[in-house]
């Protein structure tokens, strides 16, 4: 079972618990009804913004959606049967075993690494901050590149990773990237943008992720860079 299929099951379960049709969920979330249908069938990859809109419409936190998706993925690795050997559906598994295993997931220890999150889009900032902190990281928030340089200097030696947008007011991400490396040549920086990597103008030796990104991909890149830092 793919992560898209599992996420679709989770969304469908929450929708049905609220007695919402796909049309009603579409109206509340402002997402296209056909998009929601594809999402629930596991045929569509959700983006961070999509998850934020769905969570608000379903009156749950994005953290809840992430945890339940992770839970079902773990449950799917094990085969469960009823006493009469009839297979149990994923939705039934979630209701039967969800609370216990979700508790186990929440108790997993995280590194507590400190991330400087630099994003001028308030909506995206809120969503990414929740995603990052719900996965065990601590964050410092900067509104733009100018603010980021100040906060990096003020916390020199404490910040493990800078996650930064490229297009920002006052000081863009590329200029900020260069300035932070002048302050700390060993700084770990992950740039992100809705534009392609070509926007970097041929700059080499950078870490880049393109928006919109799947939550799992972003967390994977963060983990990858932090692991390289400790290697």
pLDDT per residue rounded down to tens, the chain (231 residues):
788 888 898 899 899 989 999 999 999 998 999 999 999 999 988 888 888 889 889 988 887 788 778 777 766 654 444 444 455 555 665 655 555 444 444 444 446 899 999 998 887 888 888 888 877 899 999 999 999 999 999 999 999 999 999 888 888 888 999 999 999 999 999 999 877 666 565 566 789 998 777 777 888 889 889 888 554
C-alpha count within 13 angstroms, C-beta hemisphere, residue 39: 21
Superfamily holding 114-230: Response regulator (3.40.50.2300)
- Residue 214: burial class (beta carbons within 10 Å; 0-12, 13-18, 19+): middle
Q: Judge whether 142 and 116 are in contact, CB under 8 Å.
A: yes
The pLDDT score that the predictor gives to residue 117 is 97
User: What is d(CA 7, CA 13) in angstroms, rounded to the nearest whole number?
Assistant: 10
60: CB partners within 8 A, 6+ apart: 14
**Token representation of residue 219:** 């967390």
Q: Judge whether 192 and 225 are in contact, CB under 8 Å.
A: no
Question: Quick one: CATH architecture of 3-106?
Answer: Orthogonal Bundle (1.10)
Domain boundaries for CATH 1.10.260.40 within the chain: 3-106
**Token representation of residue 181:** 């490396």
**Token representation of residue 48:** 């961070």
Pairing status of strand 207-210 against strand 189-193: parallel
Q: Is 156 helix (H, G, I), strand (E, B) or coil?
A: coil
Q: Is 138 helix (H, G, I), strand (E, B) or coil?
A: strand
- Residue keyed to tokens 């991909």: 217
Domain boundaries for CATH 3.40.50.2300 within the chain: 114-230
The pLDDT score that the predictor gives to residue 23 is 95
């Amino acid at each position: 079972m793919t992560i898209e299929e599992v996420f679709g099951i989770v969304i469908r379960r929450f929708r049905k618990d609220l007695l919402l049709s796909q049309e009603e969920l579409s109206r509340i979330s402002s997402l296209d009804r056909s998009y929601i249908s594809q999402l629930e069938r596991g045929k569509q990859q959700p983006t961070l913004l999509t998850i934020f809109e769905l969570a608000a419409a379903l009156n749950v936190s994005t953290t809840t959606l992430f945890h339940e998706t992770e839970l079902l993925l773990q449950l799917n690795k094990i085969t469960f049967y009823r006493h009469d050997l009839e297979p149990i559906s994923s939705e039934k598994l979630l209701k039967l075993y969800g609370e216990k295993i979700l508790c186990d997931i929440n108790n997993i220890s995280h590194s507590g690494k400190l991330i400087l999150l630099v994003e001028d889009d308030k909506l995206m900032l809120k969503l990414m901050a929740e995603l990052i902190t719900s996965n065990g990281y601590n964050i410092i928030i900067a509104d733009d590149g100018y603010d980021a340089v100040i906060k990096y200097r003020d916390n020199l030696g404490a910040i493990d990773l800078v996650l930064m947008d490229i297009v920002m007011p006052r000081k863009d991400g590329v200029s900020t990237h260069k300035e932070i490396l002048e302050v700390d040549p060993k700084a770990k920086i992950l740039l992100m943008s809705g534009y392609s990597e070509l926007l970097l103008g041929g700059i080499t030796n950078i870490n880049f992720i393109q928006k919109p990104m799947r939550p799992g991909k972003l967390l994977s890149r963060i983990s990858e860079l932090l692991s390289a830092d400790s290697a």
